[in-house]
């Protein structure tokens, strides 16, 4: 049978800036608030389609693929196998896990022509679980780790930082399947180790912090945070090495104190005390302490919150905390998840006349108001510092009256404790490693022991050694590929432009022909050919009618760390090596430079 020969493949064509699909911009995009966003758009790596949604140009894709390659290598080395799932998924599995509703407004939901519900996957636990359930039934098949590098969709409320927080973004998500807890620990550790290698290879500083389990539910969970000012996570660290997310910080619980000898609480008039400070001032004026002044830390503040539970029920809770602290909304959200938390409104107070606004306290001369043995039925949760024997100034639940010397464990007892107060610099780390400080960071990776939550919900079981059906235990492990690209851009740019680490730079060398003389062009062409023959990926600025100044400006903006300038010196066989990282320009004989750059 005659067969037509395929056309011969041309030799490798170097990337010429005159041909490359890119336009650099002088102006910053108006919606860009962070340097990485400004620079990636101006340098022609990405282009906005809608808020948090970007098109990828050749330069952007090259960098993204290099990051993906490093992640792939480390995933394979950790024994994970690559798969690929659709981004468009049917509702059912997410309904079974509860996340169809739990995800709230962040989920992109849509319908097909028959009215069936679909979603654009924000993450893929459910369908990975179901696929393994389809294919595997024995412990002999486990452990298994599989991963994909795939686009995710989340209708983020604040998608400002360009690739830092996209509504479409690329994630590496891996999932491990084991049938014993020890197996899960091992799988988790392998991914965690791989993450350390990935971020080290990418030159990214990171802190591993204990995370809250959030919407995922499970046991061990750690986030990799890159410390940066534009980061959206606040984390806590001590000089002694403790790190945790603010949401996961555990308050050091003080020793309980004996209270048998303490005097009875006294009620005092306290009109016009709308703030903690006015209350403290009044107490110092009218109820002075012999040994020292009263401070806000002596007061017990009672904050009324409304929880909206998944089934729609609205529940009031009161949180008691030292008056020098504030309720931290993020910590509260985590403490009560999946319920949503709101401030209580006038209607809530109207329905609960026991709570005298402005004077709320757990106790009143008329009897207990909140906590154990109280009649209100409202849950009263205490900050862990409010241990038995501590004494407080707090509301007496009577208009314009407070009470002084109210003793925890004697006069009132909460219905439990809650981590709701803000964390402050100087608070002691729970592991005894000293006072903490607060720092800003961006989550670049997350390792997570899901445990049996998804396997339970979706019925993933295998037969163990004894022929008994056991529920599989899982881990999920995410790395934000596109976010990492922005984080690198954010941390390495030098204000004039991007400045990529060599291993993710779109090109190894950027050659600029700066001059009109034929010798400049001949030298540049020959240099590019030699570098490519030596295995280097070269971007050649061969634009004829563009001035050297503009070319240098573009070279800085594009961010290839190694630039070679071919100018007039070419007459004598000389060129200049411009190292963007040090900003030094060093003259070289062409032959020597080829040796250096292809070594």
The footprint of Mg ion (CB under 5 A) covers 446
Comparison of 442 and 513: residue with beta carbon closer to Mg ion = 442
Binding site for ligand ATP (CB under 6 A): 123, 154, 156, 165-166, 169, 171, 443-446, 478, 480, 482-483
Token pair recorded at residue 576 = 């200049």
Comparison of 165 and 446: residue with beta carbon closer to Mg ion = 446
Q: Which does 569 bind (CB under 5 to 8 A by kind): Mg ion, ligand ATP, none?
A: none
CB of 444 to ligand ATP, least distance (A): 5
CB of 443 to Mg ion, least distance (A): 5
CB of 155 to ligand ATP, least distance (A): 10
Q: Which does 166 bind (CB under 5 to 8 A by kind): ligand ATP, Mg ion, none?
A: ligand ATP
User: SS3 for 38?
Assistant: helix
Where helices occur in 376-479 by DSSP H, the ranges are 453-458
Comparison of 320 and 478: residue with beta carbon closer to ligand ATP = 478
CB of 172 to ligand ATP, least distance (A): 8
Query: Strand pairing partners for 591?
Result: none
Q: What are phi and psi of 218, to 5 degrees?
A: 155, -160
Q: Which does 60 bind (CB under 5 to 8 A by kind): ligand ATP, Mg ion, none?
A: none
Q: Which does 80 bind (CB under 5 to 8 A by kind): ligand ATP, Mg ion, none?
A: none
**Distance, CA of 472 to CA of 212 (rounded, Å):** 22
**Distance, CA of 307 to CA of 94 (rounded, Å):** 24
- Tell me whether strands 300-308 and 314-322 are parallel, antiparallel or unpaired: antiparallel
CB of 424 to Mg ion, least distance (A): 24
CB of 31 to ligand ATP, least distance (A): 16
Q: Rounded to an integer, what is the distance from CA 38 to the centroid of its chain?
A: 21
Q: Which does 451 bind (CB under 5 to 8 A by kind): ligand ATP, Mg ion, none?
A: none
CB of 502 to ligand ATP, least distance (A): 23
Number of Cβ within a 10 Å radius of residue 90: 14
For residue 81, give the H/E element and its range. strand 81-82
Comparison of 97 and 482: residue with beta carbon closer to ligand ATP = 482
Q: Which does 97 bind (CB under 5 to 8 A by kind): ligand ATP, Mg ion, none?
A: none
Say which residues have a Cβ less than 8 Å from residue 11's Cβ, sequence separation at least 6: none
Q: Which does 444 bind (CB under 5 to 8 A by kind): Mg ion, ligand ATP, none?
A: ligand ATP
User: SS3 for 14?
Assistant: coil
Q: Which does 280 bind (CB under 5 to 8 A by kind): Mg ion, ligand ATP, none?
A: none
Number of residue whose CB is nearest ligand ATP: 480
**Distance, CA of 539 to CA of 508 (rounded, Å):** 8
Comparison of 401 and 446: residue with beta carbon closer to Mg ion = 446
CB of 479 to ligand ATP, least distance (A): 6
Number of residue whose CB is nearest Mg ion: 446
Q: Are 342 and 308 in contact (CB under 8 A)?
A: yes
CB of 494 to ligand ATP, least distance (A): 24
CB of 106 to ligand ATP, least distance (A): 9
Residue 208, phi-psi category: left (phi > 0), alpha (psi -120 to 50), beta (remainder)? beta
Token pair recorded at residue 115 = 């009215």
CB of 223 to Mg ion, least distance (A): 6
Comparison of 390 and 476: residue with beta carbon closer to Mg ion = 476
Comparison of 204 and 318: residue with beta carbon closer to ligand ATP = 204
**Distance, CA of 512 to CA of 518 (rounded, Å):** 14
**Distance, CA of 214 to CA of 200 (rounded, Å):** 27
Comparison of 199 and 294: residue with beta carbon closer to ligand ATP = 199
Query: Strand pairing partners for 448?
Result: 221, 476
Vertex 328: Cα angle to 326 and 330 (nearest 5) = 175
Q: Which does 123 bind (CB under 5 to 8 A by kind): ligand ATP, Mg ion, none?
A: ligand ATP
Comparison of 224 and 588: residue with beta carbon closer to Mg ion = 224
Q: Rounded to an integer, what is the distance from CA 414 to the centroid of its chain?
A: 34
Comparison of 236 and 520: residue with beta carbon closer to ligand ATP = 236
Closest CA to 166 of 80, 28, 60: 60
Closest CA to 227 of 219, 236, 218: 236
What does DSSP assign to residue 2? -
**Distance, CA of 598 to CA of 231 (rounded, Å):** 38
Q: Which does 165 bind (CB under 5 to 8 A by kind): ligand ATP, Mg ion, none?
A: ligand ATP
Query: Strand pairing partners for 393?
Result: 299
Q: Which does 445 bind (CB under 5 to 8 A by kind): ligand ATP, Mg ion, none?
A: ligand ATP
Comparison of 154 and 510: residue with beta carbon closer to ligand ATP = 154
Q: Are 353 and 375 in contact (CB under 8 A)?
A: no
């Amino acid at each position: 049978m005659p067969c037509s020969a395929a056309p011969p493949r041309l030799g490798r064509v170097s990337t010429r800036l005159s041909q490359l699909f890119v336009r650099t911009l002088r102006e910053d995009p108006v919606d860009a608030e962070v340097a990485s966003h400004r620079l990636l758009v101006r340098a022609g790596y990405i282009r906005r389609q809608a808020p948090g949604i970007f098109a990828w140009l050749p330069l952007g894709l090259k960098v993204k693929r290099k990051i993906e390659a490093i992640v792939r290598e480390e995933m394979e080395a950790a024994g994970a196998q690559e798969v690929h799932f659709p981004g468009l998924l049917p509702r059912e599995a997410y309904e079974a896990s509860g996340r169809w509703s739990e995800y709230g407004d962040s989920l992109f939901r849509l319908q097909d022509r028959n009215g069936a519900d679909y979603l654009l996957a924000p993450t893929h636990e459910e369908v990975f679980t179901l696929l393994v359930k389809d294919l595997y039934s024995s412990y002999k098949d486990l452990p298994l780790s599989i991963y994909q590098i795939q686009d995710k969709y989340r209708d983020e409320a604040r998608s400002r930082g360009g690739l830092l927080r996209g509504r479409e973004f690329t994630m590496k998500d891996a999932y491990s399947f084991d049938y014993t807890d020890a197996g899960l620990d091992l799988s988790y550790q392998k991914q965690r180790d791989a993450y350390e290698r990935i971020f080290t290879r990418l030159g990214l500083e990171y802190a591993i912090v204990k995370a809250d389990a959030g919407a995922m539910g499970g046991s061990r969970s750690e986030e990799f945070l890159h410390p940066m000012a534009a980061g959206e996570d606040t984390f806590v660290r001590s000089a002694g090495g403790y790190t945790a997310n603010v949401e996961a910080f555990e308050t050091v619980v003080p020793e309980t104190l004996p209270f048998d000898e303490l005097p009875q609480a006294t009620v005092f008039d306290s009109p016009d005390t709308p703030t903690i400070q006015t209350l403290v001032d009044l107490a110092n004026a009218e109820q002075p302490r012999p040994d020292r002044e009263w401070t806000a830390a002596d007061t017990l503040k009672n904050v009324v919150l409304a929880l909206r539970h998944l089934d729609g029920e609205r529940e009031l809770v009161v949180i008691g905390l030292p008056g020098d602290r504030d309720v931290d909304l993020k910590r509260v959200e985590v403490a009560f998840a999946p319920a949503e938390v709101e401030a209580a409104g006038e209607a809530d107070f109207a329905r609960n006349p026991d709570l005298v606004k402005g004077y709320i306290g757990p106790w009143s001369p008329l009897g207990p108001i909140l906590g154990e043995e109280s009649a209100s039925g409202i849950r009263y949760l205490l900050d862990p510092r409010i241990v038995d024997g501590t004494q407080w100034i707090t509301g007496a639940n009577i208009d314009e009256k407070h009470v002084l010397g109210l003793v925890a464990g004697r006069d009132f007892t909460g219905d439990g404790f809650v981590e709701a107060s803000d964390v402050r610099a100087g608070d002691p780390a729970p592991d005894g490693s000293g006072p903490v400080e607060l720092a800003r960071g961006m989550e670049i990776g997350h390792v997570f022991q899901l445990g049996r939550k998804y396997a339970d919900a979706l019925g993933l079981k295998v037969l163990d050694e004894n022929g008994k059906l056991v529920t599989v235990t899982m881990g999920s492990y995410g790395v934000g590929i596109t976010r990492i690209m922005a984080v690198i851009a954010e941390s390495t740019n030098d204000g004039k432009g991007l400045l990529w680490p060599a291993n993710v730079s779109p090109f190894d060398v950027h050659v600029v022909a700066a001059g009109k003389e034929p010798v400049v062009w001949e030298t540049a062409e020959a240099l590019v050919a030699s570098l490519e023959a030596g295995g280097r990926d070269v971007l050649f600025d061969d634009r004829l009618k563009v001035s050297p100044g503009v070319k240098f400006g573009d070279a800085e903006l594009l961010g290839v760390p190694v630039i070679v300038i071919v100018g007039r010196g070419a007459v004598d066989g000389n060129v200049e090596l411009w190292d963007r990282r040090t900003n030094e320009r060093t003259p070289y004989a062409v032959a020597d430079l080829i040796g250096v750059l292809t070594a």
